[in-house]
Structure 1
Amino acid sequence: MALTFVGVILGIFALAKSEFSLAGKSVYFVVVDRFARSGTQALNTTYCDLAADWINNTGGGYCGGTLSGIIDRLDYIEGMGFDCIWITPVVDSNGFMGYDAVNIFEIEPHFGSKEDFKRLSQKLHERSMCLILDIVLNHMRPLVVNGEVNLSTIVPFNHESHYNQRNRSNNQSFEEYLISWPPPPFNPSEDNQRLQTLKMTGELDCGHHVADHTECACFPGNIGFSCPSLIAEDFTTGYLGVLGDLNHSNPFVRRTLLTWVREMVQNYSLDALRLDTAIYLDRDFLPEVQEVAGVQVLGEATVNNLTFQASLMHGEAQSGLLGLLNFPPFYQLPRAFCGYRMGGDFGDYSLQGTWYEEADMEGLGSVLSLQLSSSMHLGNSNLDMMGNFADNHDEFSRLTYYCRYDSLRIRQALVWVFLSRGIPILYYGTEQGLDGHQGPENSKGQDNLRESMWHTGYRTDTWQYRFIQRLNKLRKDFGVGVGDAKIRQTSKTTLVFSRETTKAGTIWVFLNNAKNATEKEGQIYCPGPGSGHGLRGRWFDALSGKPMNRYFKAGCFQAPDRNPKVLFRGRHVP
């Protein structure tokens, strides 16, 4: 689809937005329904973790969070030092998360009104903060509700031609096709068994040291010899089962969605977008979305293939999105700091949600090294547009739980999120120690990760709130934003990297995965800042404020304890 006409329409608007960039910003991620109630309901602090109905597909699960509630708590968010908030979809939807739209042209009544949404945008901009809206272009609500098919209530996509119908037989009615459920686009069990055999025989390698397959499992994105049944065209035409998978080859669907994106950005003065399920959209649709938006788009790309990840990004030789959520290192992070199994090797999820005997940093370090060092993957500027995170609303467990409430390990992980190259993203409630997680004892699936906030009282004196506040202040004081990063050393127990900053020169970050009980023990990191070229100037730890030169020995940094360290050269700590 040619975008010449669209480009002319955007003209001045795109130019006005072009100076803003998410690169260098820090982001607080809010589930609208679970963050803050408003009005008289704000007095009701009863804990709520209702689940949506995914058996009969009736949705629901609303706990009472609103857009006005977010406005009332902006002091709380800004107090941690965040530049932006990212909110879940606000369109009229089937369920409380908003990812199953019923009418894309209306605001979900449970959340408020169009005026409330505009007011949120305005209040953020008055604080020089930015607003990121989550949008869904891949699908609508489930097409089968309570065992019946009814498209008439879906706006504007109310005709069967608006939806993909992969593998529908000639003698099937649309209703029969939907109720029988189309088969999945690939067979992960068969592919994973084959992958395991190839790995064992040495015919194929996978794991954190392999750029095209950083996890030994067949995900969308691992296409070709290693996972042969996964064909790109198949998972863009009906991967998510019962959800109404939109057909982007339909001119009405494509045109309507692009117009809607443009108008949402304009009508609500949005600063950026987060694009849900980006890998399930037609590849040639992504650059059209990016262009028509006129603002940066962060795509959700749940892949473990660095080459495939890079292929989704805009670059000199290709069109694509300007940003992505950075899943390859995220998949390594829970094991690195806390020894937690977020997934399952070769598709075996029987141990998912349990812990290894020991944590291991090598996987995270390897993936980061591959991502940072190879021009085959992400271009230099694109690295600044990768969203880094330790947990989210989908992935099995919150940080507090998977680190077993160990404050030392949680702090190590948070330092990585806030100081590694990219855009740091914090999932709401981390600062209050929310510990939602999936597991055999929890029957609500992903909704276990989406608990309410109001019962916490929005305390600003928790250690987590103050630590995050400190990290955001450090970012601003040192000018930690865009700029180079280098992995200096990785071992099973340690990770050392450096960042180039605009105000403090090169800073060195020293992390480990020791437990709370060993916090006061020393930790040796090699190399240290002075190795190879001599040590000059006075070095301080930005987190403790203490001088560190006395701990530099024989090219190593022999830290006096196991707390995370952020070392810089200067006269004092800002």
Structure 2
Amino acid sequence: MMPFLPLLACIFQLTSTAFGATAEQWRGRSIYQILTDRFALPAGADPTTCDTGAQTWCGGTWNTIRENLDYIQDAGFTAIWISPVNQNYQGPRTAYGDPYHGYWMADITKLNDRFGKAEDLKALIDELHRRDMYIMVDIVVNNVMATSTEPDYSSYLFNDAAFYHNYCPVKYGNPDSERNCWMGDTRVTLPDVDTSNPSVIRAYGEWAKAFVEQWGVDGFRIDAAKHVEPDFWPKFCGPAGVFCIGEVYGDDVDLAASFQGPKALDSVLNYPMYGALQKAFMIPGSQNASALEEVLGEERRKFKDLTVLGNFLENQDLPRWHNSSVDPQSLYNAMAWTFMTDGIPIVYYGQEQGFSGIADPHNREPLWPSKYEKGASYRLIQQLNQLRNFLVRTTPEWLVDPVKVLSVNEFAIVIQKGYVVSVLTTIGSPPNGKATINAKTSFKPSTAMTDIITCHQWVIGASGLIQVEYSKGGVPIILVPSPDLAGSGMCGESLNVQRGGRVKGGLVSESESGVRGMREKRGGRGRWMGWGLGAFVGWALM
């Protein structure tokens, strides 16, 4: 018996029952990802002292997340994902700064007191559940952190070298090396836990179950999931009883798909599709919208369930979209894809503010200099969330209706999911009189449609045809049959849900003033042309 195992019973005196949510329940959520240290400051703190490049703490806490949940919920999000809550490295500043991000694991059975006390974390979770929102917690299982290749293991949960792989640097692209060798380097090492060891498996399973029962979290995001054997995850997530989504970094569809299923994880972050979104929408770039169709087709053949994959454009490990793409419309069209296709949309904090930091650490900017303004990107997210949440509430089968590519060319891609048609363009903001796309939808001729972004009316042409011209610039178009918007609160329709201060279930944003403001600020005019023609597009989200 391992010496640490008797401690688990003492560490977790369980006083509450699990709130855990399943993959089916998470399918209908949209997620706002937060680095706890960088989201919000306590009252009275100096907002000018956070130097992103310094790689140190800036002062965010679990309490400051709780105090600013309105900003997240008013954007329509129904879940948050927060950085790891467990104890991190405690010692002198390293060559790569301090563990402000939460990923340098020390003792996983203890909380990180830099972010608050146990009652603060519990208060955050309770408040989220009061709002009918979910919480996903980032979990580091593959490794701990040290500053030597020969660390003292006595302070970790697994407190002996026998529970770790021997040191060797990872050779990326080699699966055996990725699973058995250490990430990091010789200055900041990440000792690799031997997750094939039966005692380790048993201890991790007991910890996961106890953690969920104690804190009532709804899901786990698993860091570095591909560095662990896929068959370990059911032994970890099964006892936990919550949805688990893993990080499988890279464009390889086969590799990512091998980590989803009953012998692996519930889901993974959709890195292959992220790569395709870059190819399609980034400016400058190849503007290859066909990449989306190609990856979607391959994923449909190989994944068990596309509808629970995590769709994203940014995270703590990637450059901000705006750092790589100079045109705001490229972000708006790519973002519309993440909400209107199969899968769970995830927005990394600051994406809604157009942050432009390059890779770590500059993609981990403090949010507070933005003053939490509700500008163009934020308001677009409100609209996307409002429509998606309305569909979840009134037409839940929309979530599992496979998205179909109706048309794709060098200028745009047209997709249909359920009764929603999205026309997404690669051209960016400048007008392009030669850019046009036609698509045959499933709707009957003369069907009245509404673009939920501009609230302009469309009419389906002969044979179900729509045509879009980009003579005034390229913005996303999301068409819904006009009668089906009844009760949505969008485009002049009433909001037909039960209220209790906030919309019941947290599934519809009440920030209609933000949506109206977006429409009122637009310039340009739209019109529909008779047979088979849609609107000339001339509205910029600026």
Instruction: Please indicate the TM-score interval, normalised by the length of the shorter structure.
Output: 0.7 to 0.9
Q: Name the structure 1 match of 2:311.
A: 388
- Residue number among 79, 83, 87 corresponding to 1:92 in the alignment: 87
Matches within 5 A, 1:49-448: 49-52=52-55, 61-94=56-89, 95-144=99-148, 149-152=150-153, 154-165=155-166, 178=167, 182-185=168-171, 220=173, 230=174, 232-241=175-184, 242-314=189-261, 318-339=262-283, 355-356=284-285, 358-372=286-300, 374=301, 377-379=302-304, 382-395=305-318, 397-404=319-326, 406-438=327-359, 446-448=360-362
- Residue number among 464, 487, 491 corresponding to 2:409 in the alignment: 491
For residues 86 and 75 of structure 2, what CA distance do their matches in structure 1 show?
Answer: 28
Q: Which runs of 5+ in 1 are unaligned?
A: 1-9, 53-60, 166-177, 187-219, 221-229, 340-354, 439-445, 501-505
After TM superposition, give the deviation of residue 522 of structure 1 in Å: 7.7
Q: Name the structure 2 match of 1:475.
A: 388
SS of 2:109's partner is: strand
Matches within 5 A, 1:457-536: 457-460=371-374, 462-479=375-392, 481-500=399-418, 506-518=419-431, 523-529=435-441, 534-536=444-446
Q: CA contact under 8 A between 1:273 and 1:296: conserved in structure 2? A: yes
Q: CA contact under 8 A between 2:19 and 2:218: conserved in structure 1? A: no
For residues 554 and 23 of structure 1, what CA distance do their matches in structure 2 show?
Answer: 30
After TM superposition, give the deviation of residue 19 of structure 1 in Å: 8.9
For residues 363 and 475 of structure 1, what CA distance do their matches in structure 2 show?
Answer: 24
For residues 43 and 468 of structure 2, what CA distance do their matches in structure 1 show?
Answer: 54
For residues 22 and 352 of structure 2, what CA distance do their matches in structure 1 show?
Answer: 32
For residues 359 and 249 of structure 1, what CA distance do their matches in structure 2 show?
Answer: 43
Q: Which moved more, 1:466-475 or 1:247-256?
A: 247-256
Q: Name the structure 1 match of 2:523.
A: none
After TM superposition, give the deviation of residue 488 of structure 1 in Å: 1.7
For residues 462 and 183 of structure 2, what CA distance do their matches in structure 1 show?
Answer: 54
Q: Which moved more, 1:68-77 or 1:488-497?
A: 488-497
Q: CA contact under 8 A between 2:136 and 2:221: conserved in structure 1? A: yes
CA gap 1:183/1:20 in 2 versus in 1, 3 angstroms: closer
CA deviation digits over 1:432-488, x for unaligned, max 9? Answer: 1211113xxxxxxx111111111111112x111111111101112333534321122
After TM superposition, give the deviation of residue 492 of structure 1 in Å: 2.7
Q: Name the structure 2 match of 1:175.
A: none
Q: Which runs of 5+ in 2 are unaligned?
A: 1-13, 90-98, 393-397, 486-490, 494-542
CA gap 1:324/1:543 in 2 versus in 1, 3 angstroms: same
For residues 19 and 244 of structure 1, what CA distance do their matches in structure 2 show?
Answer: 31
CA gap 1:70/1:425 in 2 versus in 1, 3 angstroms: same
Letter in 1 for 2:287: A
1:567 aligns with 2:479: yes
Q: Name the structure 1 match of 2:538.
A: none
Q: CA contact under 8 A between 2:182 and 2:191: conserved in structure 1? A: no
For residues 467 and 15 of structure 1, what CA distance do their matches in structure 2 show?
Answer: 31
1:44 aligns with 2:47: yes
> How many equivalent pairs are there?
452
CA deviation digits over 1:25-66, x for unaligned, max 9? Answer: 10000011111122432x5344431444xxxxxxxx211111
Q: CA contact under 8 A between 1:49 and 1:447: conserved in structure 2? A: yes
CA deviation digits over 1:251-283, x for unaligned, max 9? Answer: 332222222111111111001110111111123
For residues 453 and 151 of structure 2, what CA distance do their matches in structure 1 show?
Answer: 57
CA deviation digits over 1:294-317, x for unaligned, max 9? Answer: 011001111323233222212xxx
Letter in 2 for 1:132: M
CA gap 1:46/1:463 in 2 versus in 1, 3 angstroms: farther
SS of 1:104's partner is: coil
CA gap 1:157/1:16 in 2 versus in 1, 3 angstroms: closer
Q: Name the structure 2 match of 1:347.
A: none
CA gap 1:331/1:283 in 2 versus in 1, 3 angstroms: same
Letter in 1 for 2:363: L
1:449 aligns with 2:367: no
For residues 449 and 326 of structure 1, what CA distance do their matches in structure 2 show?
Answer: 19
For residues 431 and 182 of structure 2, what CA distance do their matches in structure 1 show?
Answer: 46
TM-score using structure 2 length: 0.78
For residues 100 and 254 of structure 1, what CA distance do their matches in structure 2 show?
Answer: 21
Q: Name the structure 1 match of 2:450.
A: 540
After TM superposition, give the deviation of residue 83 of structure 1 in Å: 0.4
CA deviation digits over 1:288-341, x for unaligned, max 9? Answer: 122111011001111323233222212xxx5221111111110121221014xx
Q: CA contact under 8 A between 1:422 and 1:482: conserved in structure 2? A: no
SS of 1:309's partner is: helix
CA deviation digits over 1:191-228, x for unaligned, max 9? Answer: xxxxxxxxxxxxxxxxxxxxxxxxxxxxx4xxxxxxxx
For residues 278 and 479 of structure 2, what CA distance do their matches in structure 1 show?
Answer: 24
SS of 2:28's partner is: coil
SS of 1:93's partner is: coil
Letter in 2 for 1:89: P
After TM superposition, give the deviation of residue 18 of structure 1 in Å: 5.0
Q: CA contact under 8 A between 1:278 and 1:301: conserved in structure 2? A: yes
Q: CA contact under 8 A between 1:297 and 1:322: conserved in structure 2? A: yes
After TM superposition, give the deviation of residue 385 of structure 1 in Å: 0.8
Q: CA RMSD in A?
A: 2.6
TM-score using structure 1 length: 0.74
Letter in 2 for 1:387: G
Q: Name the structure 1 match of 2:522.
A: none
Q: CA contact under 8 A between 1:133 and 1:270: conserved in structure 2? A: yes
SS of 1:137's partner is: coil
For residues 144 and 121 of structure 2, what CA distance do their matches in structure 1 show?
Answer: 21
CA gap 1:304/1:325 in 2 versus in 1, 3 angstroms: same
After TM superposition, give the deviation of residue 384 of structure 1 in Å: 1.2
For residues 78 and 385 of structure 2, what CA distance do their matches in structure 1 show?
Answer: 9
Q: CA contact under 8 A between 2:446 and 2:459: conserved in structure 1? A: no
